[in-house]
Amino acid sequence: MANSNVEPLYNQIFINNTFVNSVSGKKFPTFNPANKKKITDVAEGDKADIDLAVNAAKAAFQPDSEWRTMDASVRGQLMYKLAELIDEHKNDLAYLESLDCGKPLRDSVSDIRSSVSVLKYYAGYADKIHGKTIPSDGPYVSFTKLQPIGIVGQIIPWNYPILMMSWKLGPALATGCTIVLKPAEQTSLTALYIAALSKEVGFPDGVVNVIPGYGITVGQAISSHPDINKVAFTGSTEVGKLIMAEAAKSNLKRVSLELGGKSPLVIFDDFDVDEAVKIAHDALFPNMGQSCCSGTRTFVQEGIYNEFVKKAAKLASEKKVGDQFDPDTTIWPLVDEKQYNKVLSLIESGIKEGAKVEAGGSKVGDTGYFVYPTVFSNVTDDMRIAKEEIFGPVQQIIKFKTLDEVIKRANNTNYGLAAGVLTKDLSIALKYMENVNAGSMWINCYNAITPQNPFGGFNQSGFGRELGEAGLHNYLEIKTVSIKK
Protein backbone atom coordinates (compact mmCIF):
# COMPACT_ATOMS: atom_id res chain seq x y z
CA MET A 1 0.00 0.00 0.00
CA ALA A 2 1.08 3.57 -0.60
CA ASN A 3 1.98 5.81 2.28
CA SER A 4 -1.27 7.70 2.85
CA ASN A 5 0.61 10.34 4.85
CA VAL A 6 3.00 11.28 2.07
CA GLU A 7 2.97 14.97 1.23
CA PRO A 8 3.83 16.44 -2.17
CA LEU A 9 7.59 16.77 -1.81
CA TYR A 10 8.14 18.81 -4.95
CA ASN A 11 5.98 21.71 -6.10
CA GLN A 12 8.55 24.05 -7.61
CA ILE A 13 9.99 24.33 -11.10
CA PHE A 14 12.88 21.99 -11.96
CA ILE A 15 15.63 23.63 -14.05
CA ASN A 16 19.27 22.57 -14.37
CA ASN A 17 18.87 19.90 -11.66
CA THR A 18 17.58 22.48 -9.15
CA PHE A 19 14.12 23.21 -7.77
CA VAL A 20 13.36 26.92 -7.95
CA ASN A 21 10.39 29.25 -7.67
CA SER A 22 8.96 30.64 -10.88
CA VAL A 23 10.38 33.93 -12.10
CA SER A 24 7.02 35.61 -11.49
CA GLY A 25 6.58 33.99 -8.08
CA LYS A 26 3.11 32.86 -9.10
CA LYS A 27 1.55 29.59 -7.98
CA PHE A 28 -1.56 27.67 -8.93
CA PRO A 29 -3.57 25.15 -6.89
CA THR A 30 -3.97 21.47 -7.67
CA PHE A 31 -7.03 19.62 -6.37
CA ASN A 32 -8.16 16.13 -5.41
CA PRO A 33 -11.03 15.45 -7.86
CA ALA A 34 -12.70 13.01 -5.45
CA ASN A 35 -13.53 15.73 -2.92
CA LYS A 36 -12.52 19.00 -4.65
CA LYS A 37 -10.06 19.80 -1.84
CA LYS A 38 -6.78 21.55 -2.57
CA ILE A 39 -3.70 19.34 -2.33
CA THR A 40 -1.03 22.03 -2.62
CA ASP A 41 0.08 25.05 -4.64
CA VAL A 42 2.48 24.50 -7.53
CA ALA A 43 4.91 27.04 -8.98
CA GLU A 44 3.42 28.52 -12.15
CA GLY A 45 5.84 28.67 -15.04
CA ASP A 46 5.76 31.24 -17.80
CA LYS A 47 7.80 32.26 -20.84
CA ALA A 48 10.65 33.52 -18.65
CA ASP A 49 10.93 30.11 -17.00
CA ILE A 50 10.91 28.35 -20.37
CA ASP A 51 13.75 30.62 -21.50
CA LEU A 52 15.79 29.59 -18.46
CA ALA A 53 15.01 25.91 -19.01
CA VAL A 54 15.92 26.11 -22.70
CA ASN A 55 19.22 27.79 -21.82
CA ALA A 56 20.00 24.94 -19.42
CA ALA A 57 19.03 22.32 -22.01
CA LYS A 58 21.07 24.16 -24.64
CA ALA A 59 24.17 24.16 -22.43
CA ALA A 60 23.71 20.46 -21.75
CA PHE A 61 23.59 19.79 -25.50
CA GLN A 62 26.85 21.52 -26.37
CA PRO A 63 29.34 19.27 -28.22
CA ASP A 64 31.78 19.18 -25.31
CA SER A 65 29.18 18.73 -22.57
CA GLU A 66 29.10 15.77 -20.20
CA TRP A 67 25.87 14.54 -21.80
CA ARG A 68 27.06 14.76 -25.41
CA THR A 69 30.40 13.09 -24.70
CA MET A 70 28.90 10.33 -22.53
CA ASP A 71 29.15 6.81 -23.92
CA ALA A 72 25.81 5.68 -25.26
CA SER A 73 25.98 2.58 -23.07
CA VAL A 74 26.41 4.76 -19.99
CA ARG A 75 23.39 6.82 -21.07
CA GLY A 76 21.41 3.60 -21.21
CA GLN A 77 22.63 2.62 -17.75
CA LEU A 78 21.42 5.94 -16.34
CA MET A 79 18.01 5.36 -17.88
CA TYR A 80 17.86 1.86 -16.42
CA LYS A 81 18.78 3.23 -12.99
CA LEU A 82 16.00 5.82 -13.30
CA ALA A 83 13.52 3.07 -14.10
CA GLU A 84 14.69 1.07 -11.09
CA LEU A 85 14.44 4.12 -8.81
CA ILE A 86 10.92 4.89 -10.02
CA ASP A 87 10.02 1.30 -9.18
CA GLU A 88 11.53 1.71 -5.70
CA HIS A 89 9.42 4.83 -5.14
CA LYS A 90 6.26 3.41 -6.70
CA ASN A 91 4.22 3.51 -3.47
CA ASP A 92 4.64 7.23 -2.91
CA LEU A 93 4.39 7.97 -6.62
CA ALA A 94 1.18 5.94 -6.91
CA TYR A 95 -0.35 7.74 -3.94
CA LEU A 96 0.43 11.17 -5.42
CA GLU A 97 -0.80 10.11 -8.86
CA SER A 98 -4.11 8.90 -7.45
CA LEU A 99 -4.48 11.94 -5.23
CA ASP A 100 -3.85 14.31 -8.12
CA CYS A 101 -5.87 12.72 -10.95
CA GLY A 102 -8.42 10.57 -9.11
CA LYS A 103 -7.63 7.13 -10.49
CA PRO A 104 -7.60 4.13 -8.12
CA LEU A 105 -4.35 3.29 -6.42
CA ARG A 106 -4.15 -0.09 -8.17
CA ASP A 107 -4.36 1.66 -11.56
CA SER A 108 -1.62 4.11 -10.61
CA VAL A 109 0.63 1.23 -9.55
CA SER A 110 -0.09 -0.48 -12.87
CA ASP A 111 0.79 2.71 -14.77
CA ILE A 112 4.09 2.94 -12.92
CA ARG A 113 4.97 -0.66 -13.74
CA SER A 114 4.25 0.05 -17.41
CA SER A 115 6.36 3.20 -17.24
CA VAL A 116 9.28 1.28 -15.79
CA SER A 117 9.00 -1.19 -18.67
CA VAL A 118 9.02 1.64 -21.23
CA LEU A 119 12.12 3.26 -19.75
CA LYS A 120 13.95 -0.07 -19.57
CA TYR A 121 12.98 -0.83 -23.17
CA TYR A 122 14.47 2.43 -24.40
CA ALA A 123 17.48 2.12 -22.09
CA GLY A 124 18.35 -0.99 -24.08
CA TYR A 125 18.22 1.01 -27.31
CA ALA A 126 20.66 3.73 -26.22
CA ASP A 127 23.77 2.03 -27.68
CA LYS A 128 22.00 0.43 -30.64
CA ILE A 129 21.08 3.56 -32.58
CA HIS A 130 23.23 3.72 -35.69
CA GLY A 131 23.19 4.47 -39.40
CA LYS A 132 23.90 2.39 -42.49
CA THR A 133 26.56 2.05 -45.14
CA ILE A 134 25.30 2.84 -48.64
CA PRO A 135 26.51 1.41 -51.97
CA SER A 136 26.19 4.80 -53.68
CA ASP A 137 26.97 5.51 -57.34
CA GLY A 138 30.32 7.09 -58.16
CA PRO A 139 33.72 7.02 -56.44
CA TYR A 140 32.33 7.41 -52.93
CA VAL A 141 32.16 5.58 -49.66
CA SER A 142 28.86 6.70 -48.15
CA PHE A 143 27.16 6.13 -44.86
CA THR A 144 24.55 7.69 -42.61
CA LYS A 145 24.98 8.85 -39.05
CA LEU A 146 21.98 9.23 -36.72
CA GLN A 147 22.24 12.23 -34.41
CA PRO A 148 19.96 13.54 -31.66
CA ILE A 149 17.71 16.30 -32.92
CA GLY A 150 18.65 18.56 -30.02
CA ILE A 151 16.47 20.34 -27.46
CA VAL A 152 12.99 18.87 -27.30
CA GLY A 153 9.86 20.34 -25.77
CA GLN A 154 7.45 17.76 -24.44
CA ILE A 155 3.87 18.45 -23.36
CA ILE A 156 2.05 15.63 -21.58
CA PRO A 157 -1.63 15.16 -20.64
CA TRP A 158 -3.42 14.59 -17.34
CA ASN A 159 -5.03 11.20 -17.99
CA TYR A 160 -1.87 9.07 -17.61
CA PRO A 161 0.72 11.47 -16.17
CA ILE A 162 3.54 9.07 -15.24
CA LEU A 163 2.97 6.77 -18.19
CA MET A 164 2.92 9.61 -20.73
CA MET A 165 6.06 11.06 -19.17
CA SER A 166 7.84 7.74 -19.72
CA TRP A 167 6.66 7.64 -23.34
CA LYS A 168 8.29 11.05 -23.87
CA LEU A 169 11.44 10.67 -21.75
CA GLY A 170 12.34 7.20 -23.03
CA PRO A 171 13.14 7.90 -26.70
CA ALA A 172 14.42 11.42 -26.04
CA LEU A 173 16.98 10.27 -23.49
CA ALA A 174 17.94 7.15 -25.47
CA THR A 175 18.81 9.28 -28.51
CA GLY A 176 20.77 11.84 -26.44
CA CYS A 177 18.41 14.81 -26.62
CA THR A 178 17.86 17.31 -23.80
CA ILE A 179 14.36 17.97 -22.51
CA VAL A 180 12.03 20.78 -21.45
CA LEU A 181 8.84 19.09 -20.28
CA LYS A 182 5.50 20.58 -19.34
CA PRO A 183 3.15 18.38 -17.27
CA ALA A 184 -0.58 19.08 -17.31
CA GLU A 185 -1.55 21.73 -14.81
CA GLN A 186 -4.07 19.33 -13.24
CA THR A 187 -1.42 16.67 -12.55
CA SER A 188 2.06 18.10 -12.06
CA LEU A 189 3.12 16.41 -8.82
CA THR A 190 4.50 13.10 -10.09
CA ALA A 191 6.40 14.69 -12.97
CA LEU A 192 8.27 16.88 -10.48
CA TYR A 193 8.95 13.86 -8.26
CA ILE A 194 10.42 11.95 -11.22
CA ALA A 195 12.53 14.99 -12.10
CA ALA A 196 14.05 14.77 -8.62
CA LEU A 197 14.76 11.08 -9.18
CA SER A 198 16.51 11.87 -12.48
CA LYS A 199 18.93 14.07 -10.56
CA GLU A 200 19.44 11.40 -7.91
CA VAL A 201 20.53 8.78 -10.46
CA GLY A 202 23.05 11.17 -12.01
CA PHE A 203 21.64 12.77 -15.16
CA PRO A 204 23.81 15.83 -15.85
CA ASP A 205 22.55 19.36 -15.25
CA GLY A 206 20.14 20.62 -17.88
CA VAL A 207 19.25 17.27 -19.43
CA VAL A 208 15.81 17.03 -17.80
CA ASN A 209 13.85 20.20 -17.02
CA VAL A 210 10.21 20.22 -15.83
CA ILE A 211 8.12 23.39 -16.00
CA PRO A 212 4.56 23.19 -14.64
CA GLY A 213 2.05 25.76 -15.82
CA TYR A 214 -0.79 26.41 -18.23
CA GLY A 215 -0.96 25.60 -21.92
CA ILE A 216 -1.65 29.17 -22.95
CA THR A 217 1.63 30.29 -21.38
CA VAL A 218 4.11 27.41 -20.91
CA GLY A 219 2.77 25.31 -23.77
CA GLN A 220 2.75 28.27 -26.11
CA ALA A 221 6.28 29.28 -25.07
CA ILE A 222 7.57 25.76 -25.79
CA SER A 223 5.83 25.58 -29.18
CA SER A 224 7.13 28.95 -30.34
CA HIS A 225 10.63 28.94 -28.82
CA PRO A 226 13.28 29.46 -31.52
CA ASP A 227 15.88 27.27 -29.78
CA ILE A 228 13.68 24.21 -29.30
CA ASN A 229 14.24 21.78 -32.15
CA LYS A 230 11.25 19.51 -31.71
CA VAL A 231 7.97 19.46 -29.78
CA ALA A 232 6.06 16.32 -28.81
CA PHE A 233 2.49 16.70 -27.64
CA THR A 234 -0.21 14.36 -26.38
CA GLY A 235 -3.65 15.89 -25.96
CA SER A 236 -6.62 17.24 -27.85
CA THR A 237 -6.76 17.77 -31.60
CA GLU A 238 -7.70 21.42 -31.10
CA VAL A 239 -4.57 22.15 -29.07
CA GLY A 240 -2.45 20.04 -31.42
CA LYS A 241 -3.39 22.34 -34.30
CA LEU A 242 -2.32 25.39 -32.27
CA ILE A 243 1.02 23.78 -31.41
CA MET A 244 1.66 22.89 -35.04
CA ALA A 245 0.92 26.48 -36.11
CA GLU A 246 3.28 27.93 -33.50
CA ALA A 247 6.00 25.47 -34.49
CA ALA A 248 5.67 26.50 -38.12
CA LYS A 249 5.64 30.22 -37.37
CA SER A 250 8.72 30.07 -35.14
CA ASN A 251 11.54 27.92 -36.52
CA LEU A 252 9.79 25.08 -38.35
CA LYS A 253 10.60 22.80 -35.44
CA ARG A 254 9.72 19.16 -35.92
CA VAL A 255 6.39 18.14 -34.41
CA SER A 256 4.90 14.83 -33.32
CA LEU A 257 1.28 14.78 -32.20
CA GLU A 258 -0.76 12.08 -30.47
CA LEU A 259 -4.26 13.53 -30.42
CA GLY A 260 -7.90 12.62 -29.97
CA GLY A 261 -9.90 9.66 -31.15
CA LYS A 262 -13.38 8.28 -31.69
CA SER A 263 -12.36 4.70 -32.08
CA PRO A 264 -14.71 2.01 -33.46
CA LEU A 265 -14.93 -1.46 -31.94
CA VAL A 266 -16.91 -3.69 -34.30
CA ILE A 267 -18.47 -6.90 -32.99
CA PHE A 268 -19.76 -9.58 -35.36
CA ASP A 269 -22.47 -12.03 -34.40
CA ASP A 270 -20.16 -15.06 -34.69
CA PHE A 271 -18.27 -13.90 -31.59
CA ASP A 272 -19.21 -15.05 -28.07
CA VAL A 273 -21.53 -12.38 -26.66
CA ASP A 274 -20.35 -12.58 -23.05
CA GLU A 275 -16.71 -12.29 -24.08
CA ALA A 276 -17.56 -9.42 -26.43
CA VAL A 277 -19.39 -7.52 -23.69
CA LYS A 278 -16.35 -7.82 -21.42
CA ILE A 279 -13.85 -6.77 -24.12
CA ALA A 280 -16.03 -3.82 -25.14
CA HIS A 281 -16.46 -2.77 -21.52
CA ASP A 282 -12.71 -2.90 -20.92
CA ALA A 283 -12.11 -1.02 -24.17
CA LEU A 284 -13.98 1.99 -22.81
CA PHE A 285 -14.38 2.22 -19.04
CA PRO A 286 -10.79 1.99 -17.73
CA ASN A 287 -9.68 5.40 -16.44
CA MET A 288 -13.38 6.34 -16.59
CA GLY A 289 -13.17 6.63 -20.36
CA GLN A 290 -10.45 9.29 -20.13
CA SER A 291 -8.30 7.68 -22.79
CA CYS A 292 -7.63 8.85 -26.33
CA CYS A 293 -7.98 5.36 -27.85
CA SER A 294 -11.09 4.24 -25.94
CA GLY A 295 -13.45 2.11 -28.04
CA THR A 296 -16.33 4.53 -27.66
CA ARG A 297 -18.24 3.64 -30.84
CA THR A 298 -19.34 0.07 -30.15
CA PHE A 299 -20.77 -1.32 -33.41
CA VAL A 300 -22.73 -4.54 -32.80
CA GLN A 301 -24.16 -6.72 -35.58
CA GLU A 302 -27.94 -6.85 -35.52
CA GLY A 303 -28.20 -10.59 -34.75
CA ILE A 304 -26.78 -10.13 -31.23
CA TYR A 305 -27.54 -6.44 -30.70
CA ASN A 306 -30.37 -6.72 -28.17
CA GLU A 307 -28.62 -9.35 -26.08
CA PHE A 308 -25.39 -7.37 -26.14
CA VAL A 309 -27.13 -4.16 -25.01
CA LYS A 310 -28.81 -5.90 -22.09
CA LYS A 311 -25.58 -7.50 -20.86
CA ALA A 312 -23.46 -4.37 -21.42
CA ALA A 313 -25.91 -2.30 -19.37
CA LYS A 314 -25.87 -4.85 -16.56
CA LEU A 315 -22.06 -4.89 -16.42
CA ALA A 316 -21.84 -1.09 -16.32
CA SER A 317 -24.52 -0.89 -13.61
CA GLU A 318 -22.59 -3.22 -11.30
CA LYS A 319 -19.70 -0.81 -10.80
CA LYS A 320 -19.14 0.70 -7.35
CA VAL A 321 -18.62 4.38 -6.52
CA GLY A 322 -15.72 5.20 -4.20
CA ASP A 323 -12.62 7.29 -3.72
CA GLN A 324 -9.32 6.37 -5.25
CA PHE A 325 -8.00 4.69 -2.10
CA ASP A 326 -10.91 2.28 -1.60
CA PRO A 327 -9.74 -1.06 -3.06
CA ASP A 328 -13.32 -1.93 -4.09
CA THR A 329 -13.80 1.24 -6.14
CA THR A 330 -14.74 0.76 -9.78
CA ILE A 331 -16.22 4.24 -10.35
CA TRP A 332 -13.87 7.11 -9.64
CA PRO A 333 -13.92 10.83 -10.41
CA LEU A 334 -13.17 12.62 -13.65
CA VAL A 335 -10.11 14.82 -13.45
CA ASP A 336 -11.67 18.27 -12.95
CA GLU A 337 -14.77 20.41 -13.24
CA LYS A 338 -14.24 21.25 -16.90
CA GLN A 339 -14.10 17.59 -17.92
CA TYR A 340 -17.01 16.74 -15.61
CA ASN A 341 -19.24 19.40 -17.17
CA LYS A 342 -18.23 18.39 -20.71
CA VAL A 343 -19.16 14.74 -20.12
CA LEU A 344 -22.50 15.60 -18.50
CA SER A 345 -23.30 17.99 -21.36
CA LEU A 346 -22.65 15.29 -23.97
CA ILE A 347 -24.75 12.76 -22.03
CA GLU A 348 -27.59 15.27 -22.03
CA SER A 349 -27.17 15.81 -25.78
CA GLY A 350 -27.49 12.06 -26.35
CA ILE A 351 -30.76 11.97 -24.44
CA LYS A 352 -32.15 14.98 -26.30
CA GLU A 353 -31.18 13.51 -29.71
CA GLY A 354 -33.06 10.28 -29.02
CA ALA A 355 -30.51 7.77 -27.76
CA LYS A 356 -31.76 5.46 -25.01
CA VAL A 357 -30.02 5.40 -21.64
CA GLU A 358 -29.57 1.75 -20.67
CA ALA A 359 -27.35 2.46 -17.65
CA GLY A 360 -26.12 5.54 -15.79
CA GLY A 361 -26.79 8.83 -17.49
CA SER A 362 -26.22 11.18 -14.55
CA LYS A 363 -23.75 12.55 -12.05
CA VAL A 364 -23.04 10.94 -8.68
CA GLY A 365 -23.81 13.36 -5.84
CA ASP A 366 -21.91 16.61 -5.40
CA THR A 367 -18.85 15.61 -3.39
CA GLY A 368 -16.50 15.15 -6.33
CA TYR A 369 -16.47 14.94 -10.12
CA PHE A 370 -18.22 11.56 -10.35
CA VAL A 371 -20.38 10.41 -13.29
CA TYR A 372 -22.12 7.05 -13.45
CA PRO A 373 -20.86 4.73 -16.21
CA THR A 374 -23.34 5.35 -19.01
CA VAL A 375 -24.52 3.02 -21.75
CA PHE A 376 -26.55 4.33 -24.70
CA SER A 377 -28.44 2.20 -27.23
CA ASN A 378 -30.34 3.32 -30.34
CA VAL A 379 -27.41 5.55 -31.25
CA THR A 380 -27.17 6.88 -34.80
CA ASP A 381 -24.07 8.12 -36.56
CA ASP A 382 -25.26 11.72 -36.73
CA MET A 383 -25.63 12.18 -32.96
CA ARG A 384 -23.05 14.27 -31.11
CA ILE A 385 -22.19 11.37 -28.84
CA ALA A 386 -21.33 9.30 -31.93
CA LYS A 387 -19.16 12.01 -33.49
CA GLU A 388 -17.44 13.96 -30.70
CA GLU A 389 -14.73 12.70 -28.38
CA ILE A 390 -16.43 12.50 -24.99
CA PHE A 391 -13.41 11.46 -22.91
CA GLY A 392 -15.63 10.02 -20.23
CA PRO A 393 -17.45 6.82 -19.17
CA VAL A 394 -20.00 6.82 -21.98
CA GLN A 395 -20.50 3.81 -24.28
CA GLN A 396 -22.46 4.22 -27.50
CA ILE A 397 -23.84 0.94 -28.88
CA ILE A 398 -24.64 1.19 -32.59
CA LYS A 399 -26.37 -1.45 -34.72
CA PHE A 400 -25.00 -2.58 -38.10
CA LYS A 401 -25.78 -5.27 -40.71
CA THR A 402 -22.84 -5.97 -43.03
CA LEU A 403 -19.06 -5.77 -43.14
CA ASP A 404 -18.94 -3.33 -46.06
CA GLU A 405 -21.45 -1.07 -44.35
CA VAL A 406 -19.60 -0.98 -41.02
CA ILE A 407 -16.24 -0.28 -42.67
CA LYS A 408 -17.69 2.88 -44.21
CA ARG A 409 -19.29 3.91 -40.94
CA ALA A 410 -16.15 3.19 -38.93
CA ASN A 411 -14.22 5.51 -41.28
CA ASN A 412 -16.86 8.24 -41.07
CA THR A 413 -14.81 10.31 -38.63
CA ASN A 414 -12.05 12.90 -38.62
CA TYR A 415 -10.05 10.69 -36.29
CA GLY A 416 -8.00 7.53 -36.83
CA LEU A 417 -6.22 6.57 -33.64
CA ALA A 418 -7.38 3.00 -32.97
CA ALA A 419 -9.93 0.41 -34.05
CA GLY A 420 -10.94 -3.08 -33.03
CA VAL A 421 -12.86 -6.01 -34.45
CA LEU A 422 -14.22 -9.12 -32.74
CA THR A 423 -14.93 -12.05 -35.06
CA LYS A 424 -14.01 -15.71 -35.52
CA ASP A 425 -13.85 -15.23 -39.31
CA LEU A 426 -10.27 -14.44 -40.34
CA SER A 427 -11.32 -13.10 -43.76
CA ILE A 428 -13.66 -10.58 -42.09
CA ALA A 429 -10.96 -9.54 -39.64
CA LEU A 430 -8.37 -9.06 -42.40
CA LYS A 431 -10.69 -7.06 -44.66
CA TYR A 432 -11.65 -4.82 -41.73
CA MET A 433 -7.99 -4.39 -40.80
CA GLU A 434 -6.99 -3.47 -44.35
CA ASN A 435 -9.75 -0.93 -44.90
CA VAL A 436 -10.33 0.89 -41.60
CA ASN A 437 -8.10 3.92 -41.06
CA ALA A 438 -6.43 3.61 -37.67
CA GLY A 439 -2.90 3.68 -36.29
CA SER A 440 -3.54 0.71 -34.01
CA MET A 441 -5.73 -2.20 -35.09
CA TRP A 442 -6.77 -4.78 -32.49
CA ILE A 443 -8.30 -8.09 -33.56
CA ASN A 444 -10.20 -10.09 -30.92
CA CYS A 445 -8.71 -7.87 -28.22
CA TYR A 446 -8.41 -4.18 -27.38
CA ASN A 447 -5.82 -1.85 -25.84
CA ALA A 448 -2.93 -4.19 -26.66
CA ILE A 449 -0.38 -1.46 -25.96
CA THR A 450 3.18 -2.55 -25.14
CA PRO A 451 6.59 -0.82 -25.18
CA GLN A 452 7.51 -2.70 -28.37
CA ASN A 453 4.48 -1.68 -30.47
CA PRO A 454 4.38 1.72 -32.21
CA PHE A 455 1.40 3.86 -31.18
CA GLY A 456 -0.08 6.85 -32.99
CA GLY A 457 -2.82 7.95 -35.32
CA PHE A 458 -4.08 8.68 -38.81
CA ASN A 459 -5.94 11.81 -39.91
CA GLN A 460 -6.69 14.29 -37.09
CA SER A 461 -5.50 11.83 -34.47
CA GLY A 462 -2.02 13.13 -35.20
CA PHE A 463 1.21 11.91 -36.76
CA GLY A 464 4.49 10.43 -35.66
CA ARG A 465 4.68 7.34 -33.47
CA GLU A 466 5.51 6.70 -29.86
CA LEU A 467 6.82 3.43 -28.43
CA GLY A 468 8.69 0.78 -30.37
CA GLU A 469 11.69 1.46 -32.57
CA ALA A 470 9.54 3.93 -34.50
CA GLY A 471 9.33 6.14 -31.41
CA LEU A 472 13.06 6.89 -31.75
CA HIS A 473 12.69 8.37 -35.21
CA ASN A 474 11.00 11.54 -33.93
CA TYR A 475 14.16 12.42 -32.02
CA LEU A 476 16.82 11.75 -34.64
CA GLU A 477 18.35 13.57 -37.58
CA ILE A 478 19.94 11.64 -40.45
CA LYS A 479 23.31 12.93 -41.59
CA THR A 480 24.60 11.50 -44.87
CA VAL A 481 28.38 11.35 -45.22
CA SER A 482 30.21 10.67 -48.52
CA ILE A 483 33.98 10.24 -48.83
CA LYS A 484 35.74 10.28 -52.19
CA LYS A 485 37.85 7.20 -52.74
* Domain spans, the chain: 13-259+461-482, 264-450
> What confidence score (pLDDT) does residue 2 get?
41
> Given 97, 185, 258, 389, which residue is catalytic?
258
> What confidence score (pLDDT) does residue 467 get?
98
457-471 pLDDT, tens digit per residue, is 999 999 999 999 999
Residue 209: pLDDT above 60? yes
> What confidence score (pLDDT) does residue 159 get?
96
> What confidence score (pLDDT) does residue 6 get?
56
Residue 97 annotated as catalytic = no
Average pLDDT score over residue span 11-32: 97
Residue 1: pLDDT above 80? no
Residue 366: pLDDT above 90? no
Q: Tell me whether the CATH fold assigned to 13-259+461-482 matches the one assigned to 264-450.
A: no
Average pLDDT score over residue span 59-87: 98
> What confidence score (pLDDT) does residue 176 get?
98
Q: What is the mean pLDDT of the chain?
A: 96
Least reliable range by pLDDT among 15-19, 245-249, 321-325, 443-447: 321-325
Sheet hosting strand 476-484, strand order edge to edge:
133-134, 140-148, 476-484
pTM of the model: 0.95
Residue 431: pLDDT above 60? yes
Residues 6+ apart with CB under 8 A from 482: 136, 140, 141, 142
> What confidence score (pLDDT) does residue 280 get?
98
- The identity of residue 396, as a single letter, is Q
Higher local confidence (pLDDT), 96 or 323: 96
The CATH architecture that domain 264-450 belongs to is 3-Layer(aba) Sandwich (3.40)
Candidate CATH numbers 3.90.1420.10, 3.40.605.10, 3.40.30.10, 3.40.50.300; the one for domain 13-259+461-482: 3.40.605.10
Share of residues in the chain with pLDDT > 90 (%): 95
> What confidence score (pLDDT) does residue 3 get?
46
- CA neighbours within 13 Å on the CB side: how many for 320? 9
140-150 pLDDT, tens digit per residue, is 999 999 999 99
Residue 4: pLDDT above 60? no
